[in-house]
Amino acid sequence: MNKLISICHRLTEGHHLIYWISIFSQILMVVAQVFTTFLIKVTVDAIQGTLYKAQLVEAWVVSFITGGAGNQYLYDNEISVLVTSIAVAGFVTGILSLIRMGLRSWVGALVNSSMQLTAFNHLERLPYSYYKRNKSGDLIQTCTRDLDVLRRFLIGDVGEINYTFWICLFCFSILMSISWPLTVVSLCLFPVMFVYSFFLVKFVRKRYRATDDSEAHMTDKINENLGAVRIVKAFNAERYEIDSFEATLQDYKGKFISWRKLSAFFFSSSDVFVFGSKLLSLLWGFYLCSQGDITVGDLVLSFTFVNMMVWPLRNVATSLSNMGQYIASSDRVSLILDEPLEDVATGSMPPIKGNIEFNHVEFKYDDASVDTIHDVSFSVKGGETVAIMGKTGSGKSTLSLLLTRLYDYTGGSIKVDGVELKDIRKSYLRRNIVPVLQDPFLFSKSISENILMANKKATKDDVERAAKIAAIHDTITNFKDGYDTPVGEKGMSLSGGQKQRVAIARTIVSNAPVLIFDDSLSAVDTETDWTIRQNLKELEKDTTTFIITHRVSTAKDADLIVVLDDGRVSEMGTHETLIKKPGLYKRIYEIQSKMA
């Protein structure tokens, strides 16, 4: 419960004042409702002529509506006074109710946006390793369904609990002043209902958590299939994926029905306590009235107050039964919000010219049993081009992850212009060392907007220059909308080679002193590959370039070629040097020469 409160407090940061104002407006509305209802008793007692039996509360109300004139004045002017009082009280109650509903809607919108923004802001600032450990479907489920559950708790259930507390406090206090035996009998079933609800909570929570996890798995399945639609269609696997999704859906269906059955059972069975309380109140009230212990006004008021209390109490009991759902959702949200943020603001910001030195670098992934990178050492001078080659899984791409500090090396040293990489501020480092991935991600925006993401201050000429270097300018201008052409979700409207070249243009426009091409020319033909490499030479001479590739034709013009084998440097040198001695590079060269 403490975690639920803590998470809700954190998610609504900045809106606490308006939230509590809406809660206070509800209290004022309750006071007005109770006062208006109490006027019914005053009216009945005035008609019956039993105001002489008035208790302290009724005497105060009579004094208030008559301006202190008392019972006799009310007897003499009962029609005008009572009608006016009831009309005014009803009008005030209506106004307060309108204000309360308006505030509730406004606060609901504020809380919803605050929750979504807080969760998204936290997700955006989590380290890269977090996303490698968690499925996107689970995260989407948490940021949609679970946040909506917590919103309903804050706006709906907290308000219901607040309303119930004050309505019960006022009604109970007044009823006790009228007849404590009637009050005790009327409400005697509710402690039983709360105990009943308490024991049901843990079962509802367990079933809801299972349902929520199953829905997250289903969401992940949908997300995965939408991202792999080309593969599914290419292998004619629609039927297989539909059957697989149906099995997932059946699992969710079974768990959902089980959860809703238990919730529906509680909701229905709790009506026994509600109508039982109303029946006891009415029967016992008739008995006391017949004995002369209470007036007809007392009977009417007691039944009305009991009716005003029983439904909110039942709703609170229902909220209690749903508490398991709220706690389960808060647990899932806390798994995200309790995750420590990536520190991108701490560290130095030295001038980066591109001199990079690897010195006995070691690295191992958290879920790996052996080092991915082991004792890697080489150095690069500013403006040089370095090609990284090796077999699949040799650790080539891991080097780019280390250079951008998506992961930190576990041993050895990497220095950039003489400064230890770990001492450089991450945000600053990533502005100066920019990668292009083999499977680049493009956002559902125009081509121009995708390129400008790397440099918001770039001009139209800068964008076109970068596109020309990436050999994509002519292709773009042939599109109907040119640079304003939308690329579709994940760049689906472009071919693999076109996406890679747009991503290369995006990297070039950043004007970063260090560029990393992580097999980012794999989807283009050899001629286009050569054109891009020639164009890259036109960049400023002080741009250090890392090219991770499988092609000898791409690597041969590099100032230095580093060949990795099982995470170690097996060979290092220029193209001319490496083809003259036996080794992995020479074997790759001979194989690719035969295939040419």
Give 372-386 pLDDT, tens digit per residue: 899 999 999 988 889
Phi-psi region of 360 (alpha: psi -120 to 50; beta: other; left: phi over 0): left
pLDDT number for residue 522: 65
Q: Is the pLDDT of residue 596 over 60?
A: no
pTM given for the model: 0.70
State residue 472 phi and psi, 5-degree precision.
-125, -5
pLDDT digits (tens, 9 = 90+) for 455-503: 888 888 888 888 888 888 888 888 888 888 888 665 567 777 788 888 8
pLDDT number for residue 471: 84
Q: What is the mean pLDDT of residues 295-304?
A: 81
Q: Is the pLDDT of residue 332 over 80?
A: yes
Q: Give helix then strand counts, H and E, for the chain.
A: 25, 10
pLDDT digits (tens, 9 = 90+) for 194-239: 777 777 766 777 787 788 778 877 877 777 777 677 677 666 777 8
Range of weakest confidence among 158-172, 313-327, 382-396: 313-327
Is the dihedral angle over the CA atoms 312, 330, 20, 116 positive or is it negative?
Answer: negative
Closest CA to 41 of 281, 292, 295, 279: 295
Band (541; pLDDT cuts 50, 70, 90): low
pLDDT number for residue 214: 83
If DSSP codes are grouped into helix, strand and coil, which group holds residue 91?
helix
Question: Which of 42-56, 143-157, 192-206: highest mean pLDDT?
Answer: 143-157
> Which residues pair with residue 546 across a beta bridge?
386, 516
* Averaged confidence pLDDT in the chain: 82
Contact 181, 319 (CB under 8 A): no
Q: Six-digit token pair at 454?
A: 């790397």
Distance CA 143, CA 155 (A): 17
pLDDT number for residue 168: 87
pLDDT digits (tens, 9 = 90+) for 252-280: 888 888 888 887 777 777 778 778 888 88
Phi-psi region of 70 (alpha: psi -120 to 50; beta: other; left: phi over 0): left
pLDDT number for residue 378: 92
Which of the two residues, 356 and 241, has the higher pLDDT score? 356
What helix, strand, coil percent values describe the chain, rounded to 5?
Answer: 65, 10, 25
pLDDT number for residue 193: 76
Q: Please count the CA atoms within 13 angstroms of the CA of 31 that sit on its side-chain side.
A: 9
Range of weakest confidence among 23-27, 60-64, 128-132, 389-393: 60-64
pLDDT digits (tens, 9 = 90+) for 87-112: 888 888 889 888 888 888 888 888 88
Contact 197, 316 (CB under 8 A): no
pLDDT digits (tens, 9 = 90+) for 414-450: 999 999 999 999 989 988 888 887 677 778 788 888 8
Domains of the chain: 2-337 (1.20.1560.10), 356-595 (3.40.50.300)
Distance CA 367, CA 566 (A): 17
pLDDT digits (tens, 9 = 90+) for 333-385: 888 888 888 888 888 999 988 899 999 999 988 877 788 899 999 999 988 88
Give percent of the chain with pLDDT exceeding 90.
Answer: 8
Contact 12, 19 (CB under 8 A): yes
